[in-house]
């Protein structure tokens, strides 16, 4: 990611954090399950807890975007956990699309092509690292 993309992701995430995490998670997971209902079986904890987990994970990732080397072990562990849940490489596309759609809905007028490109690159980097780490 370029320094400009990192700055855009960080700035837009700061704006996005004003939204209730349970609402964010509800919108995100609704989009995921609407797109691919088979993914619903991978989630075994209440949605509000799952919502908080994804926000926490994104907080860590966004907070370290300018120091991605510090994320390597976190990404590796997350990839192994997700593989254990049954996540396959093809699921990352669904998750990425749902994430971008959720961010777009939440940011409204603050969402633009630059924001979309920055978040797309961010997700592409993280998901590629996770797919590599999970074998």
The SS3 call for residue 91 is helix
Q: Which pLDDT value is given to residue 51?
A: 87
Element (H, E) at 131: helix 113-133
Q: Which pLDDT value is given to residue 99?
A: 96
C-alpha pair distances (Å), 133 with each of 15, 27, 83, 125, 126: 31, 28, 10, 12, 10
Q: What is the pLDDT of residues 6-64, one digit of tens each?
A: 999 999 999 998 888 888 989 999 999 999 999 988 888 888 888 888 899 899 899 99
Which domains can be identified in the chain, with CATH numbers? 3-133 (1.10.490.10)
Q: Which pLDDT value is given to residue 7?
A: 98
CA 75 – CA 83 distance, rounded (Å): 12
Is-above-0.85 flag for pTM? yes
Q: Which pLDDT value is given to residue 97?
A: 97
Spatial CB neighbours of 126, under 8 Å, sequence gap ≥ 6: 61, 71, 75
Q: What is the pLDDT of residues 74-107, one digit of tens each?
A: 888 888 888 777 788 888 899 999 999 999 999 9
């Amino acid at each position: 990611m370029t320094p400009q993309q990192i700055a855009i992701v960080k700035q837009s995430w700061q704006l996005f954090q004003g939204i209730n995490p349970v609402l964010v998670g509800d919108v995100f997971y609704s989009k995921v399950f609407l797109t691919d209902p088979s993914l619903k079986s991978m989630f075994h904890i209440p949605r509000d807890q799952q919502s908080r987990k994804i926000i926490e994970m994104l907080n860590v990732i966004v907070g370290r975007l300018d120091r991605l080397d510090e994320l390597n072990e976190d990404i590796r562990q997350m990839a192994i956990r997700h593989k254990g849940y049954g996540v396959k490489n093809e699921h990352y596309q669904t998750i990425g699309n749902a994430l971008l759609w959720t961010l777009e809905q939440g940011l409204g007028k603050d969402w633009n092509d630059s924001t979309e490109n920055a978040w797309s690159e961010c997700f592409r980097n993280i998901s590629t690292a996770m797919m590599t780490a999970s074998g």
